[in-house]
Structure 1
């Protein structure tokens, strides 16, 4: 793996686990075993530029993962259950959901930097768009699909944060039971 990719991957994990403000530049450098010069070579604007690049990489990875899951299922209901099962399995295997959630970064940084807020907003919009497209294929009206995609995004993101804080998969398991029923009644 090249230095830039290693910096992005390592910083993303650290930011997700500890938060942007808590992770110091020296911690990133030490974890990557690189010099400050190497970091500034790839990210001339430093840690802020690295964060935005991490968010863009997350956007790509999460979008690809969700699209892959959704392409394997005929209905949104089945795709959502599969996606939640993937998240539960990840948490049970590793004790975290790193790679899927970026809410900690959003809550910490979105009001401090327009560039970070925009990167986070774009990622949420991508997720909602995937859900909305599948819901439209299921026969939902545009208005209902848009509303339901927001509900799905908020529920899944919220459940992931609760899993991390409670150190339990119960929040994801609960929404896995409730969301399909809500979708049928919507």
Structure 2
């Protein structure tokens, strides 16, 4: 495996579990079994550069996963239910939410740099666009689709954080139920 990809693949779960501030370069180097020189050769700007690479990797994984789910179902409602069911299943089998654990890293965003904030913002915008496209195909106006998409992202991401902190799938199940009410009421 390419060293850069190895460092990214190993660092993502470290950042997800401990947060950006909770993981030091020494821990990353030790876990990756690489030298400090090798780390800085691949990421000359240090841990922040690595974080941005990790966020881009997560971005690609999440958006590809969402697009695949949304292609499989004819309506936003069905696609959203399927996506939440996958999140619930991940939590039940893995004890964490494997695909969409972007939120755990983003929670520290207020104290991070503009490039990191931009990487996070770009993922959320891509997610919103996936929802919007599907909602518009369901017949919602562009304005209404944007509003609902924003609410869906905030609800699901918030539910993910609650699931992780409560060690329970209950928040996702509640959000799933409530989102279906919203999606059944076009006004």
State the TM-score, normalized to the length of structure 1: 0.97
Match of 1:185 in 2: 185
Distance in 1 between residues matched to 2:153 and 2:112, nearest whole Å: 23
Match of 2:49, SS state, is helix
Match of 1:72 in 2: 72
Distance in 2 between residues matched to 1:65 and 1:99, nearest whole Å: 8
Distance in 2 between residues matched to 1:111 and 1:145, nearest whole Å: 31
Structure 2: 5+ residue stretches without partners? none
Residues 73-152 of structure 1 mapped to structure 2, 5 A cutoff: 73-152=73-152
Number of matched pairs: 186
Greater alpha carbon shift after TM alignment, 154-163 vs 30-39: 30-39
Show structure 1 runs of 4+ deviating over 4 A: none
Question: What is the RMSD of the two structures over their aligned residues, measured on CA atoms?
Answer: 1.0
CA contact (8 A) 1:111 1:117 kept: no
Residues 51-66 of structure 1 mapped to structure 2, 5 A cutoff: 51-66=51-66
Distance in 1 between residues matched to 2:16 and 2:10, nearest whole Å: 10
Structure 1 residues 92-149: Cα deviation after superposition (integer angstroms, max 9, x where no partner): 1110114312223222134430000000000000000000000000000111100000
